Each structure stands twice: as structure tokens, then as C-alpha cells.
Amino acid sequence: MNRDPILLTPGPLTTSLRTKVAMLRDWGSWDSDFNAVTAGVRKSLLDIVHGHESHVVVPLQGSGTFSVEAAVETIVPRTGHVLVLDNGAYCKRAAKLTTLMGRKCTLLPFEEAQAVPPTALERKLKEDPSITHVILIHCETGTGVLNPLAEISAICEAHGKGLIVDAMSSFAALPIDARTMPFDALIAASGKCLEGVPGMGFVFIRKSLIDQCAGNSLSLAMDLHDQYVYMEKTGQWRFTPPTHVVVALAEAIAQFEEEGGQPARLARYRRNYKILVQGLQKLGLKPFLDPAIQAPIIVTFHAPADPRYDFKKFYDATKRQGIIIYPGKLTQIETFRVGCIGAINDVEMKQSINAIGQALAELGVSVGTGK
């Protein structure tokens, strides 16, 4: 195979040639030219959520989970009580990291095939006034379910509770407007719907909270308050930045803006999703979620019921066809996941459907019914 595989995953993603080429230059981490790139990226990120009046954005080295952990530790006081709305694997991860940081944490569980019901949050906040913060995973990529950010935001605002949004797999694709969806913090990363490369997260923090965050974090490297203060003062990162990741993200954002921004990106992902689902259904593969709550980000499919199906063999067979997919994250039902995001369009989606069909045929797997 002479080309890179198509990454049908929720990140890392297939990136454009322009984004790859942007990483061919070396940058000095304190150089004024690199500082200007960082400043431009921060401005562009605030543009996307219409957040210049209400929020600041703080970049952080590392994967998206680094930034989730940093956001919780920076935003939530040590006496805080966090409620995690749990309908999937990444919700449980948020609860685990919150607990590890010594914050009181309560899980409010829901079915994995169900979007978080706002009425349940309303009841819980009335029952337990000690709750200070709510964590919502906007798009729970364990299944692909889309949770109702606008409704959850309104309830938290009405009850005076801080809202921390993990928008890792939704930011820049699904509409998020800080003017109409209030939040204390919102977290995303470079290697998702902006179609950059992995290695940098970023956290939008409500301006009115920044000063209150001083001293909350017990970590030096993960203290977003210190990162923000230092960056505002010097224009520089406190510690060695992921220079190539930052400049790749700047180039990816330029392409995002050329494409038409969030509405255009969502439209392309929706086309990818429609092609994917229709194509795999023709092969006999059934999506796990009701389309009404499915985000066009990553789709979970029931595994074939044929006893010859084995995910590892299926994965290897699709990889030989130039396609990388993801295993399922459900505990009770065997599934696999296929992404719709990245620098891909109709052509790559149709190639991927053909590759999946050929892989199943190679394994002799019948896909008439799902498990």
C-alpha cells in the first residue's frame, strides 16, 4: 500500500497534506514568530465559540484527557462536589480523574444508548444542593451519542452550578456558542474536528472565574491558572510547547476557515455519516444508536452474529485494505466503531465501505443479522 491508511477513528484523524507539511519546519519555543502563531491560534479558537467577551482560552501540552484533568483541578475548588452525567466510557473516565484529584464526585448513570435527559439533572440538583459543578460529555464517543448541551447549560445556569463540558469530539463540528450556552469550562483538543494532529488540548474558561482558580490545582504542570497568567504576561508557554503540533493546528484552522467554518465542517461530516450508515446497512450491518441521538462523529455498529467474526481478525483485514477502525467500548454488547471525521469526504467514505465489505468477505463472515 503506497498511501497512508484512512483513519476512521475519533482521533487521531486523517490530516491534509497542508497540515502535514506545516510540521516540516523547526521553531524556537520562545521566538516571537512562534509566540505569534500561539496568539493567532488562541484568537481563532475563541472565534469559533464566539467567546471573546466571556471566556479566555488556555492551551496545554498533551492529549485531550490531560486538559480534562487540568480543567477539573483548576476550576473546581478542593471543597467542590462534582456531578458527572454518565452515559458512557468517557463519562466514567471524567469521574475517575475527578476522584483521583480528591474532589467529591457523584455519578448520575444512564443507559449507554440514551442521551442524558435534562429532567434527571434538574431533579438531582434539587435533591442535592451540595453539588457545585456538573460535567457533561457533549459527544460520548464510546457510542457516538449526542448529549443536549444547550438544555444542560440552561439548567446549570438556572441553579447556579458550574458546567464543565468535554467537547473533545464535538468542538468545531457541532454548534457551540458561548453567548447562548453558558459554561464555566469547555475542553477540546487539536487532533479532533479541527483536523490537526494530537498533542495539544485547550480549555475555555469563563473570565469571571480566572482569579478564583488561583491555588486550586495541586499540580505544577496542569495548573491552567498559572499557564494563563504566564502566557498573558509573556506570550510564551510555561514549559516546552509542542511546537510542531501548534503550527499544524494553525494551518488546520486556516483550512477550517477556508472551508466555511463550523457549519461547513458539520455539513461534510453529516454527508460522511449518511454515506457510511447507508453503505454499511446495505452490507447488513446495523447501527447501535437511534439516529435521533446519533452525532455524525463516530458510529457504533453491532458486530455480525456469525461465529466466524472476530474483531481482531476483522481489524487486521480492514487494515490490509487501508482502513483503520475502532473497537467497541460497550461492556454488554459486541460492537465496533467507525468514524466520520477527519480530512475525508465522499470518496474516502465509499472506499471505506468497500474495504469493510471486502474484509468481511475475506473472513467468510455473514452479516445478515447483528448481535
Mean pLDDT to the nearest integer, 354-362:
96
Mean per-residue pLDDT over the chain, rounded: 96
Is the dihedral angle over the CA atoms 209, 72, 9, 63 positive or is it negative? positive
Q: H/E/C letters for each residue in the chain?
A: CCCCCEECCCCCCCCCHHHHHHHHCCCCCCCHHHHHHHHHHHHHHHHHHCCCCCEEEEEEECCHHHHHHHHHHHHCCCCCEEEEEECCHHHHHHHHHHHHCCCEEEEEECCCCCCCCHHHHHHHHHHCCCCCEEEEECEECCCCEECCHHHHHHHHHHHCCEEEEECCCCCCCCCCCCCCCCCCEEEEECCCCCCCCCCEEEEEEEHHHCHHHCCCCCCCCCCHHHHHHHHHHHCCCCCCCCHHHHHHHHHHHHHHHHHCHHHHHHHHHHHHHHHHHHHHHHCCCCECCCHHHECCCEEEEECECCCCCCHHHHHHHHHHCCEECEECCCCCCCEEEEECCCCCCHHHHHHHHHHHHHHHHHHCCCCCCEC
How confident is the model at residue 367, as a pLDDT? 83
Task: State the Cα–Cα distance between residues 54 and 182, nearest whole angstrom.
Answer: 9
pLDDT band at 1 (very low <50, low <70, confident <90, very high): very low
Q: What is the pLDDT of residues 11-48, one digit of tens each?
A: 899 999 999 999 999 999 999 999 999 999 999 999 99
pLDDT band at 196 (very low <50, low <70, confident <90, very high): very high
How confident is the model at residue 7, as a pLDDT? 97
**CA-based nearest residue to 262, from 193, 203, 182:** 193
Task: State the Cα–Cα distance between residues 235 and 299, nearest whole angstrom.
Answer: 40
Q: What is the pLDDT of residues 84-135, one digit of tens each?
A: 999 999 999 999 999 999 999 999 999 999 999 999 999 999 999 999 999 9
Asked whether 178 and 74 are in contact (CB, 8 A), the reply is: no
Task: State the Cα–Cα distance between residues 296 and 286, nearest whole angstrom.
Answer: 16
For the chain, give every domain's residue range.
6-11+261-363, 17-258
Q: What is the pLDDT of residues 138-181, one digit of tens each?
A: 999 999 999 999 999 999 999 999 999 999 999 999 999 999 99
Pick one of 2.60.40.10, 3.40.640.10, 3.90.480.20, 3.90.1010.10 as the CATH number of 17-258: 3.40.640.10
Query: Which top CATH class is 6-11+261-363?
Result: alpha beta
Q: Calculate the alpha carbon distances from 55 to 116, 209, 291, 346 in Å.
A: 26, 9, 33, 36
Q: What is the pLDDT of residues 54-89, one digit of tens each?
A: 999 999 999 999 999 999 999 999 999 999 999 999
Is the dihedral angle over the CA atoms 228, 232, 236, 242 positive or is it negative? positive
Q: What is the pLDDT of residues 318-351, one digit of tens each?
A: 999 999 999 988 877 899 999 999 999 999 999 9
Give the rounded percent of residues in the chain with a pLDDT score beyond 90. Answer: 95
What residues contact residue 152 under an 8 Å CB cut-off, 6+ apart?
85, 116, 118, 121, 134, 136, 163
**CA-based nearest residue to 9, from 371, 323, 332, 367:** 323
**CA-based nearest residue to 338, from 267, 268, 252, 272:** 272
How confident is the model at residue 369, as a pLDDT? 46
Asked whether 191 and 201 are in contact (CB, 8 A), the reply is: no
**CA-based nearest residue to 165, from 133, 194, 124, 197:** 133
Mean pLDDT to the nearest integer, 248-264:
98
What residues contact residue 158 under an 8 Å CB cut-off, 6+ apart?
none
Task: State the Cα–Cα distance between residues 312 and 314, nearest whole angstrom.
Answer: 5
**CA-based nearest residue to 71, from 166, 169, 170, 4:** 166
How confident is the model at residue 368, as a pLDDT? 64
Residue 30, phi then psi, degrees to nearest 5: -105, 0
How confident is the model at residue 371, as a pLDDT? 42
Give the rounded percent of residues in the chain with a pLDDT score beyond 70. Answer: 98
How confident is the model at residue 2, as a pLDDT? 56
**Placement of cell 442524558 in the chain:** 116
Asked whether 164 and 136 are in contact (CB, 8 A), the reply is: yes
